[in-house]
Amino acid sequence: MLETAKRLLMPSKRSDVPPFIVMDVMAAAARIEAEGRRVVHMEVGQPAAPAPQTARKAAQAALVQGRIGYTESLGIPTLRARIARHYRDSYGLALDPARVAVTTGSSGGFILAFLALFESGERVALANPGYPPYRHILSALGCEPVLIETTAETRWAITGKALIAEHRRKPLAGLVVASPANPTGTMMEADALARLIAVAEAEGIRVISDEIYHGLDYAFAAETAANLSERTVAINSFSKYFCMTGWRIGWMVVPDSLVRTIDRLQGNLAISVPTLAQVAAEAAFDGRDEMETVKHGYEENRRILVEGLPQAGLDKFLPVDGAFYLYADISRFSDDSLDFAKRMLNEAGVAATPGIDFDPVDGRHFLRFCYAGSAAEMHEAVQRIGDWLKR
Ligand SMILES: Cc1ncc(COP(=O)(O)O)c(C=O)c1O
């Protein structure tokens, strides 16, 4: 009887996904600020700037007009067409709007893609370090995330050789790639991405490309997987380049053969994506000038950190190619990135994310800094870290 009552209150095993450790850092930062002390926030991966004016105006106009109803499950047709045009303008790809599905952030796109591509129990390769929700969504859906170690020699990306070695050990059904990547900020050259996709597809491994940080590329231009193979699923979002995290809107480009599947899944899981966000997203494309100014701000922040952090004492970090992350090696100072992050927060007033959030193997040696704030904050962070490490 007691056992039955207990079972009624128990969550399922597959829902047992770990939380973000960065939440602890954020809570600690809030406590410090409540005491009246200053904190430079570099822990959360989101833009400080608002959505483009064009997007906000379009949303306001839609609200004034009144009725906000459901849309088609795959999204408002004019938005899908506008996204397809973006592929022509940005990548020289003639994309049929029918292959575009609008999603609830890229997060919604991952759920749809994993459901559409994989059976439960199938194995999906991910780069380590990497964005934790890939593995947590996969395991909640009953798939098996398989971490493949990346190193400086492979420019922190999965290579065809590493993928095949894992596939020979035990067959893989899928591969998730990300360029620019989170937490590393590193990118794959178009050639390397093309080679990896070709190797994967030759073995029947389906490729999902997370392109959420496209547009925020400084070292070289990011290539979309959609331009390299029509069989890949490319996932993107308005959250980062367009500064629309809270609007919860993204999209995916899928092979023709999957369009109807995604349509049926989304129709059942969510009916449609929030209409107001779709209206705003379509207008966001007209706000690119504003977003380019924001991007130039990130470039300046990147310069300040790349030049300043080595002088402050943090002289080892991964190539700072894109997104707005710098992944610093702190092994000279500590074997415990969580403890280091807590002390840096308490004693220097700079909040960053411990690498263990992104890498269960070697994350204790790394910290992720988000440089999406202001240039003044970057200078302040460099100064504070320098003073602290020299103490
Ligand atoms: C690499 C990566 N992919 C996907 C997401 C999810 O973003 P959203 O659901 O807002 O599009 C994030 C968010 O930080 C991210 O860093």
> For position 129, what pLDDT does the model report?
97
Counting from 1 in the atom list of ligand 1, the atom nearest the Cα of 239 is: 10
> For position 73, what pLDDT does the model report?
98
Span 163-185, mean pLDDT?
Answer: 98
Span 108-121, mean pLDDT?
Answer: 98
* Ligand 1 touching residue 239 (CB < 6 A): yes
* DSSP secondary structure letter of residue 145: E
Q: How far apart are CA 59 and CA 291, in angstroms?
A: 18
DSSP 196-239: HHHHHHHTT-EEEEE-TTTT-BSSSPPPPGGGT-TTSEEEEESS
R_g of the chain computed on alpha carbons = 21
Span 237-263, mean pLDDT?
Answer: 98
Is residue 44 predicted with pLDDT exceeding 80? yes
Q: C-alpha distances in angstroms, 375 versus 246, 262, 345, 380?
A: 23, 42, 19, 9
* Ligand 1 touching residue 45 (CB < 6 A): yes
Judge if pTM exceeds 0.85: yes
Q: What is the mean pLDDT of the chain?
A: 96
Closest residue (by CA) to atom 1 of ligand 1?
182
Q: C-alpha distances in angstroms, 110 versus 117, 194, 299?
A: 10, 21, 29
Closest residue (by CA) to atom 13 of ligand 1?
45
Span 236-260, mean pLDDT?
Answer: 98
Side chain identity, residue 107: S
Q: How far apart are CA 123 and CA 138, in angstroms?
A: 9
- Do 155 and 192 touch, CB atoms closer than 8 A? yes
106 CA to middle of ligand 1, Å?
6
Percent residues over pLDDT 70 in the chain = 100
> For position 1, what pLDDT does the model report?
66
Counting from 1 in the atom list of ligand 1, the atom nearest the Cα of 45 is: 14
Q: C-alpha distances in angstroms, 381 versus 43, 93, 305, 372?
A: 12, 41, 9, 13
* Ligand 1 touching residue 106 (CB < 6 A): yes
Q: What is the pLDDT of residues 304-320, one digit of tens each?
A: 999 999 999 999 999 99
> For position 237, what pLDDT does the model report?
98
Is residue 2 predicted with pLDDT exceeding 80? no
361's CB contacts (< 8 A; 6+ apart) are 128, 147, 149
Nearest to 323 by CA among 232, 228, 211, 167: 211
> For position 302, what pLDDT does the model report?
98
Give 120: exposed, middle or buried? Use CB within 10 Å, 0-12, 13-18, 19+. exposed
21 CA to middle of ligand 1, Å?
16
> For position 219, what pLDDT does the model report?
86
139's CB contacts (< 8 A; 6+ apart) are 14, 17, 145
Span 236-247, mean pLDDT?
Answer: 97
Q: How far apart are CA 112 and CA 250, in angstroms?
A: 12
Q: What is the pLDDT of residues 51-80, one digit of tens each?
A: 999 999 999 999 999 899 999 999 999 999
* Ligand 1 touching residue 354 (CB < 6 A): no
> For position 25, what pLDDT does the model report?
86
Q: What is the pLDDT of residues 218-241, one digit of tens each?
A: 989 999 999 999 999 999 999 999
212 CA to middle of ligand 1, Å?
6
Is residue 348 predicted with pLDDT exceeding 70? yes
Mutate to test the pocket of ligand 1, among 240, 248, 359 (most ligand atoms within 8 A of CB): 240
